[in-house]
Structure 1
Amino acid sequence: MGISGRTTESFEERIRAYEDAWLSPLAVRSFETRGRARPEEPCSVRTPFQRDRDRLVHSKPFRRLKGKTQVFIDPQGDHYRTRMTHTLETTAISRVVARALRLNEDLVEAIGLGHDTGHTPFGHAGEQALDDALNASFGRRFRHNEQSWRIARRLNLTEEVCDGILTHTGAQEPETLEGRIVRIVDRVAYINHDIDDAIRYGILAEDELPRAEIELLGATGTDRIDRLVHDLVDTSSEAGGIVQSDEIGESMLSLRAFMFDRVYLGPHVEPEHRRAHEVVKTIFARLMEDPGLLPPGEGELADRITDYVAGMTDRFALAYAAAV
């Protein structure tokens, strides 16, 4: 008998038996995926969702997340969040929720790791700047979730992972419960760690946080995340879907609105936003003027520029704009 404890069953048969015994009836089964856009031979030691996870971790778009800051442009300090750390925090919290609800952790992990791979440099300011440039030149819009979905399709990820990545934000709801976990946890993660970064950056003081929300959710980021996660698990267990309680959900949305007013769109970050817009505008205009500067590739000019600009890290974009 081998290390696995069995010699007659295949890997797929063992996973199917394990998931039937452990997972909720509402969970997506790993070997019942709707498949990929381009069929592939199955892996003998990984489920399709585990394969998606590994493919994302080894991809260039994922690696570049370490050079894309979350809120502040190329900050001077080692402790500010990047898109990479945000992605890892979101994924870790999502796995906790999935395990507690007996849903498919591997599917949640793949969605979590891929959800922001299409994000621009300079956070939401960069996303708005690229959207403005694309709209002015091509009559098209840019949304980072759609760009992340394009990357997922390029990597030939499973349909469930692609759907979860596309719908982690926006009007469309994910088709799976696993995708809905990531959608809510993404907000839980960024609201709380962005508060921490804003305080560290000096544009927000702890005593300025809305009292009612802090009293309900907790005084520290750790306390707030713990409260939000427990509420999400407890409420979802009773509801049979992925939902927050009305009280906690409304409080989180109120805290999110506060962050948009004071941090994301507040007066203190206006110089940062102008800087991001100028950099993206300069790069976009230069590439429109001379498409030969783009990396070799096929497709429409709008797509090639979008892929190149959205894929840049903060520092690369700043250096590129300075050089042109």
Structure 2
Amino acid sequence: MQRFTAPYASLPEESRGRVHPETGADFRTPFARDRDRVIHSQAFRRLKHKTQVFVYHEGDHYRTRLTHTIEVAQVARSIARALGLDEDLAEALALAHDLGHTPFGHAGERELDKLMRPYGGFDHNAQSLRIVTKLEKRYAAFDGLNLTWETLEGLVKHNGPLVDREGDPVGRYREWGLPEAIVEYAAVHELELHSYASAEAQVAAIADDIAYNAHDIDDGLRAGLFGLIDLGDVPLAGEALARVLTLYPDLDHDRVVHETVRRVMSDMIFDVIDNVKRRAKTLKLHVSGDVRQLDQPLVCFGAQMQENNRVLQSFLNQRMYRHEKIEQIMERARRVIAALFEAYTNDPELLPPGWREGGSPKDPARHARRVCDFIAGMTDRYALEQHKRLFDLDPLFR
């Protein structure tokens, strides 16, 4: 059994349980069972061919949603272990955090959100919730994966509260309101949307940031979007690069990149661990519920690392995500999503048989959500194949 040294760790024996009670407990904890169910889901397997930044056929060594997810899980588990938290819960949340992403990365999400705006929009966190509570159909007794309350809570709130204590949306939900999927589910299963999630959920969230930064440096260098010399003045990355070059002045380029990236990750991980330990001691946390009652996240970088992280992300945003090559790819991806959405909404018969049920053009909102679920679940490759099949055109990427 795991040994928890942090008094604010989530204890599996104190889980609030599942919507559909289950008997037949085995050697796994409830959170370990959640992790295993995520891994065996169809949505998890599809991450193999979903894009981070580069479309699947551009190279075998760029990250996909699956490889990114595995890296996030590794970082989350390492941090959770160092802090004495429940590693299984942190890992389950890390493995599930990207299940709701569309094909073609953020370009696909932005386009689906625009197309779905008259019907409640699209949000990948809300879509992850739909997948694990409704769209996965594997078990005889229920739809979804019937995950524990703690995993569902962490999936929805890993980036912080969604509403204030009066119930008004906050942050990125302030303008358009909460996604319909979250509102509907919270109405039947209270997830305490006004509070922070567990320490384990917060660990999974910051592990996502750490993995993103590290692998985007790696992928950006590999793609030639920027060079090692460009990292020289970037805090954190530049400092790591300088240490590598001092220790290994004759190292070949590829190893310099790897050594730099691993130092960036290590610096961020150790900063999180040290900062959380200091904060937890100051805040005098006694049980896991104390973390939810704070008015700020427990798991975060120290002040200097926060600034370093901000500058690094700004660099990547300018030099990678807004690079002309990437913007051209994403514009083509946007057009593929728009064309598929229009085709399926105008003619439901184009959908596979299992997806034609539950909506029709006579019920536009329900039909549009059905189409949205279908497209959001596609891999890059499948989306391109469907575009080719429907329009008999080159899929725009060759």
For normalisation by structure 2, the TM-score amounts to 0.73
- How far the C-alpha of 1:293 sits from its partner, in A, is 2.8
2:130 alignment partner AA: R
Determine which of 117, 122, 129 is the counterpart of 1:149: 129
- 2:78 corresponds to: 96
- 1:208 corresponds to: 230
The separation in 2 between residues aligned to 1:255 and 1:112, in whole angstroms, is: 22
Number of residue-to-residue matches in the alignment: 304
The separation in 2 between residues aligned to 1:171 and 1:257, in whole angstroms, is: 25
C-alpha contact (below 8 Å) 1:118/1:311 kept by paired residues:
yes
Which sits farther off after the overlay, 103-112 or 212-221? 212-221
- How far the C-alpha of 1:261 sits from its partner, in A, is 2.0
- How far the C-alpha of 1:99 sits from its partner, in A, is 0.3
- How far the C-alpha of 1:174 sits from its partner, in A, is 4.1
The separation in 1 between residues aligned to 2:220 and 2:24, in whole angstroms, is: 45
The separation in 1 between residues aligned to 2:231 and 2:19, in whole angstroms, is: 46
The separation in 2 between residues aligned to 1:290 and 1:177, in whole angstroms, is: 46
The separation in 2 between residues aligned to 1:212 and 1:115, in whole angstroms, is: 28
Structure 1, unaligned runs of 5 or more: 1-14
Determine which of 81, 98, 122 is the counterpart of 2:63: 81
- 1:318 corresponds to: 384
1:224 alignment partner AA: V
1:267-306 residue pairs with structure 2 within 5 A? 267-295=324-352, 296=354, 297-298=357-358, 300-306=366-372
Superposed CA deviations along residues 43-78 of structure 1, whole A, max 9, x for unmatched, are 222111111111111110000000012101224321
Percent sequence identity is 41
Which sits farther off after the overlay, 306-315 or 38-47? 38-47
- 1:117 corresponds to: 99
C-alpha contact (below 8 Å) 2:336/2:383 kept by paired residues:
yes
- 1:231 corresponds to: 271
Structure 2, unaligned runs of 5 or more: 134-143, 163-194, 242-259, 281-297, 360-365, 391-398
- 2:321 corresponds to: 264
- How far the C-alpha of 1:281 sits from its partner, in A, is 0.4
1:283 alignment partner AA: L
Which sits farther off after the overlay, 106-115 or 124-133? 124-133
- CA 1:270–1:27: 2 relative to 1, 3 Å: same
Superposed CA deviations along residues 91-124 of structure 1, whole A, max 9, x for unmatched, are 0000000000000000001001100011111111
- How far the C-alpha of 1:155 sits from its partner, in A, is 1.5
- 1:246 corresponds to: 303
- How far the C-alpha of 1:291 sits from its partner, in A, is 1.6
C-alpha contact (below 8 Å) 1:217/1:248 kept by paired residues:
no
The separation in 2 between residues aligned to 1:174 and 1:277, in whole angstroms, is: 34
The ranges of structure 1 where at least 4 consecutive aligned residues each deviate by more than 4 angstroms after the TM superposition are none
C-alpha contact (below 8 Å) 2:159/2:202 kept by paired residues:
no
- CA 1:206–1:167: 2 relative to 1, 3 Å: farther
Which sits farther off after the overlay, 249-258 or 261-270? 261-270
- How far the C-alpha of 1:217 sits from its partner, in A, is 5.5
Superposed CA deviations along residues 215-240 of structure 1, whole A, max 9, x for unmatched, are 67622110000000000001111111
The separation in 2 between residues aligned to 1:268 and 1:170, in whole angstroms, is: 33
- CA 1:174–1:305: 2 relative to 1, 3 Å: farther
